[in-house]
Amino acid sequence: MTINVQTPSMPRVSYESLAREFGLTTTEVTNYLAAARREFRKIVLAKLREVTATEAEFRSEARSLLGVK
């Protein structure tokens, strides 16, 4: 599941343009963003673990939020 948070007034930003802006390669941008997504997912799952009462509830909520099976 992908959620697009762009609004019509926000221009689409490419990995290539981010690489140029920050003096990185496109591969580095890809790797940094992948690492950020992994860390975000890890934090969300940890917090979800704290607020769910059962394993079944955790799995159901994780699936709803992140598409985790």
Q: Are 58 and 49 contacting, i.e. CB atoms less than 8 angstroms apart?
A: yes
What is the mean pLDDT of each successive set of 10 residues along the chain, which is 69 residues long? 63 93 97 97 96 96 88
How many Cα atoms are found within 13 Å in the side-chain-facing hemisphere of 44?
A: 15
| pLDDT at residue 2 in the model | 52
Give me 61's structure tokens. Answer: 């909520």
Q: Where are the domains of the chain?
A: 38-69
